[in-house]
Structure 1
Amino acid sequence: MTQHNADRTPVTVIGLGLMGQALAGAFLRDGHPTTVWNRTAAKAEPLVARGATLADSIGDAVAAGELVVVCLTDYDAVHKLLDPVGEALDGRVLVNLTSGTSAQARETAEWAARHGSAYLDGVILAAAPGIGTADAILVYSGPRPAFDLHEPTLRSLAAATTYLGEDHGLSALHDMAVLGVMWGILNGFLQGAALLGAAGVDPAGLVPLVRQGIGIVTDWLPGYAQQIDEGSYPALDATLDTHRAAMEHLARESESLGVNAELPRFIQALADRAVADGRGGDGYAAMIEQFRRPSGARP
């Protein structure tokens, strides 16, 4: 059983899915008195065996902790549970680690403020097994005093604990940005694996090449970020015209092997628009102008 330290902040964790269990376990491991609640109480049993307190009700759970951490399926679930007991949040800091949109984060912050609670919206950039280790990254947005007050406690969840700013929506915005990058990498790999598979080649051989390629591209990102900030896109590696020609090769290769070419053709269509806008001699970062443009809009 975990020993609680009297000088550690009491914490409540609401929601005991895989991630919620990992969060509560990390607080327990660092000696925080930890109260837990879940609609299915049986999920709390391993945590109770380690020293957690299972609250009898959601209201009791909220009242037990100075810091109330929520990790549920979506914001609708958060409000369904907390709306009836909002008054119990008065004077407490609510940390919501539920995935959602920036608008939902801001709306929930306004709701929490009406109930006297400081609200931090957070995002977990890790899988459940990584919580409490060097592999976990958590980012937060909301009132700085609330973050500073509880940062030592939140570091139980991740050593890489980053404050993004007062705007409650910043965490969700960063989450969506990172997810877009992640899916871009995964979809690109799957496209490549499909190409190799069509030729009877084991995709395992692609992995080391992709790792090296990702490393190269990662090194380009600080320069791309600077170009985007400055609004100038010098062709340091290759012009967009050159990239666009290579996109055509990928699309044709996919089509010739009977592999779905919708993704490379879509990327090529964006490049075509950029070239039509006069960006053919610029670097690839000029494509940002296409991503900034609302869907269906034209210059």
Structure 2
Amino acid sequence: MTGLRPLTRLLLVMGLMGLTACTPQVPSPTLLGTTPIPSPTLLLPTSVSIEPTLTPWIFPSGLVIEEHPLRNLPSVEPLYFEPLTGTFDQIMARHADLRTNVIQHNTFFDPQENAFELWTPWQGQRLEVVTKTNSANQVMAEVRRGDQVIYTLPLGQPGALSQVQGVWAQGDTWVAEVVYLTCHSVRTGESQSVECQPRGLIIQNGEVLNERYGYEEAFGFQWLNGKPFYFFQKSGWIGIHYHDQEIPLRYAEIPHYRCCSAAELNPLHAAQMVAFFARRGEQWYYVEAGLFTPGQQ
């Protein structure tokens, strides 16, 4: 600025300061994280930050999660739990009308396998998911569109648990939830039995979502307001995947795939909500997640 008069230099400096003050500021990320990260082949889900002691959680997707701490393990026959706040009847009455609208799957009997299988309508045809046991006693899942087999997947060994849990389709997308069983013999005294370890897999258009997202297990799929909802386990913790978003609830256990009377502890899937039991550390919870107005805690 050599050669400029003092007043001119002062006005020029003030102008530069004004331009700096008007520079747009980058907004801070919101609580729900950033936009999903695109890649050449898939869309990774965002991860949500939550405060584990504050509930209900309400998300822009419309999903509401209400978590009720329990005094002890829930019991079955009949199903009952004792919450730390409120009563069993008060909590069960809150969304009772939504809870009764339970999702039902279409079944048919496969005489070749002597088993009931699942199907759903898709693009004017039947989309069926069946299991076949080969001569090596290995189970294969077959996804059929009409008379054509469009996908197969090995499911380990046969067991008492149904290895096809559900099939859904909308638009150009089909989804199946299947169970891979790893079984071994257990001898107790003079008796011998077989124990099987289940691992839930979710398949979308022929792709295993467990592999896409690095999930150890994925289970409890359903459409919720037309968007995919399911549970996932990653790094030993269980959370919810909804609308391309991971909600890391950090549960150590969510009972699922249980049979007989213990099946009352499995997640209950209704059209607009999911009810389930979960454990975080030594603390058990009754949890409702869905598209509803949150109640008072």
The bucket for the TM-score relative to the shorter chain is under 0.3
Structure with more of its chain in helix, by fraction? 1
Higher relative contact order (CA 8 A, sep 6+): 2
Scaled by the length of structure 2, the TM-score of the pair is 0.21
Scaled by the length of structure 1, the TM-score of the pair is 0.21
Structure with more of its chain in strand, by fraction? 2
The structure having more radius of gyration, on CA atoms, is: 2
